[in-house]
Amino acid sequence: MEKSALQIARAAYQPKLPTALQGAVKAVEGAATQSVGNQEEIKALFPNTYGLPVVEFQSAESENHDPINVGIILSGGQAPGGHNVISGLYDGVKSLNKNSKLYGFLMGPGGLVDHKYVEFTDAFIDEYRNTGGFDIIGSGRTKLEKEEQFESGIQILRELGIQALVIIGGDDSNTNACVLAEYYAAKQYGVQVIGCPKTIDGDLKNEQIETSFGFDTACKTYSELIGNIQRDCNSARKYWHFIKLMGRSASHIALECALQTQPNVCLISEEIEAKQQSLDDVVTYIAQAVAMRAADGNNFGTVLIPEGLIEFIPAIKKLISQLNEILTDPATGEAREFESADAQIAFVKNNTSADNLAVLESLPADVARQLCLDRDPHGNVQVSLIETEKLLSRMVADKLDQWKQEGKFVGKFAAQHHFFGYEGRCAAPSNYDADYCYSLGFNASRLIATGKTGYMSIIKNTTAPAAEWIAGGVPITMMMNIERRNGANKPVIRKALVELDGAPFKFFAGKRDEWARQTAYIYPGPIQYFGPTEVCDQCTRTLALEQAK
């Protein structure tokens, strides 16, 4: 593998560990826990893994440990730092006993089911230390949910003498990790299951989890690009840049990037939903910022848009819901078939409620057509095909044309469009993510060594220097409640959306009018690994604001 100069230099970085993990540990256990909601139902579903105590590790006398064999799985979308979780876990199990082994299952949870795996060695791990990506073993989106998968898994785990499995994933994958932990515990299979909180979206966090890994690096990479675009925007002074940021549900990425770069406009889906705004409200809000800046002679600006925005607008959510319903054949549960596109559109118009039809007809014609026609294999509207950044800029242009005729807008409006996602999911981890992930992985080995299952590896107090970080574990059931998913009640980890009364949003809301009118751009620049600590070792603004409370 040919490497860049930075890859070579960065390979030598030794990630920092909390002091408590730098030698042998003892697990200090708290009181029994409860799930965040639906306690009785969760308890009934997880009789063996419910109510366990929160665990915190403290330094202890070193003691001999038998070798252990551990397996690891990368589940779902890529996030910077996954390789460091693995190298931390590898170093952790080797520190327990040098004859311990670590196996990686290939291309996600499917690797466990299909018995595809590799055994890690020093040389193999060293190739991937402090690098981005999940390419060390690949990832996949197979969901571990079925008994036959669990049974297929136990065969290979037994064959390899694996006593514990670490699953790196988001809210769904960690929920499934807990289901698996419960199943193996109930069957007394003697295999522990530990989860690790991953997702660039930042929506896996709660009282126990400060942040999901990868969020820091991804947001810093996007903010580098937004800052560069803002500098261009402020130099050329002739374009509005509409920048969409990956993340289908929560707007944490957009909010964090706004805190780092101070754009003129940043839309927060959760606020739009809470205020019951219409698409026209959103368009009007942007157009007002454009008009206000134009009045000052500034015919340029930036708009940050969370990818999932469109589905948070209540009227559009309702429309999509009805489209999904009427275009599915109730008899088969599959997409209805039509003789022609025109026939399909006519069917939609005749079967949509008046208010939904009005919303549909308020959209630009091609977007309305696309919503009516394009379906995924399950017959659902393909919302992800809508280029929200272009839709918004076109509608803003139309509104400004109208205002111009009315004498309410005197400037010029021209737009450029960007969508950032893949650019940041596999960036090499920042120092924060490199240290955090290595600690999460190393810590997982201690949860295994102390016999835990159904726990998530947790590192807290990460706004302090790494030596002071707090390491431990939290029973996954503690973070669960019951939610309706695909028409059935399921135990799930509650997804953390942007809280409108949280410190990050409140800070943003207090500043945004100033940022809209003035040109208050900040240019974060690229992630630095070797410079002064205030440049290289800062956490996200979101986390700093949350922890400052």
Angle at CA 180, nearest 5°, toward 176 and 183? Answer: 140
Cα 154 to Cα 137: distance, rounded to the nearest angstrom: 20
**Both tokens assigned to 511:** 């500043």
C-alpha distances (whole Å) from 111 to each of 116, 318, 456, 457 are 5, 39, 21, 22
Give whichever of 217 and 477 is closer to its own copies, judged by the CB atom: 217
Is the distance from CB of 491 to CB of 528 less than 8 angstroms? Answer: no
User: What is the rounded distance in angstroms from the CA atom of residue 329 to the CA atom of residue 379?
Assistant: 9
CB of 496 to its own copies, least distance (A): 24
Q: What amino acid occupies position 542?
A: T
The answer to whether 227 touches 523, Cβ cutoff 8 Å, is: yes
- In 3D, which of 14, 28, 42 has the Cα closest to residue 482? 42
Whole-angstrom Cα distance, residue 255 to residue 506? 11
Least Å distance between CB 118 and its own copies?
15
Q: Cβ of residue 99: shortest distance to its own copies, in angstroms?
A: 30
CB 453 within 8 A of CB 193: yes
User: Could you tell me if 51 and 34 are in contact, meaning their C-beta atoms sit under 8 angstroms apart?
Assistant: yes
What SS3 class is residue 456?
strand
* Residue with token string 């675009």: 229
Question: Nearest approach, Cβ of 433 to its own copies (angstroms)?
Answer: 14
Decide if 282 contacts 313 (C-beta within 8 A): yes
Query: Which amino acid makes up residue 129?
Result: R
Task: Show Cβ contacts of residue 526 under 8 Å, excluding neighbours closer than 6 positions.
Answer: 224
Cβ closest to its own copies, residue 390 vs residue 408: 390
Q: 382 Cβ partners below 8 Å, 6+ apart? A: 370, 374, 375, 376
Q: Which residue has the tokens 């400004």?
A: 400
CB of 429 to its own copies, least distance (A): 11
- For residue 444, what is the DSSP state? H
In a 3-state reduction of DSSP, which class is residue 493?
strand
Nearer to its own copies, 23 or 526 (CB): 526
Q: How many CB atoms lie within 10 A of CB 340?
A: 8
Nearer to its own copies, 12 or 548 (CB): 12
The residue among 188 and 533 lying less far from its own copies, judged by its C-beta, is: 533
Q: Which is nearer to its own copies, 227 or 475 (CB)?
A: 227
- Report, in Å, the least distance between residue 41 CB and its own copies: 35
Q: How far is the CB of 4 from its own copies (least distance, A)?
A: 4
Integer Cα distance of 465 and 534 in angstroms: 12
The residue (of 180 and 428) whose beta carbon lies closer to its own copies is: 428
Q: What is residue 381's DSSP assignment?
A: B
- Count of H-run helices and E-run strands, the chain: 22, 15
Least distance between its own copies and beta carbon 47 (Å) = 37
Please tell me the distance from the alpha carbon of residue 265 to that of residue 244, in angstroms, as a whole number. Answer: 12
Tokens 């939609």 belong to which residue? 348
As beta bridge partners, residue 305 has: 244
Nearest to its own copies of 236, 295 (CB atom): 236
Residue 201 annotated among the catalytic residues of the structure? yes
| Residue 78 vs 356, nearer CB to its own copies | 78
> What are the beta bridge partners of residue 482?
491
The single residue of 201, 203, 433, 435 carrying the catalytic annotation is: 201
Closest to 233 measured CA to CA, from 285, 299, 175: 299
- The letter for the amino acid at 158 is R
5 versus 488: smaller Cβ distance to its own copies: 5
Q: Which residues bind its own copies (CB under 8 A)?
A: 2-7, 9-10, 77-78, 107, 131-135, 138-139, 221, 224-225, 227-229, 231-237, 241, 260, 262, 416, 418, 422-428, 520, 522-532, 534-535, 538
φ, ψ of residue 88 in degrees (nearest 5):
-65, -45
The set of catalytic residues is: 201
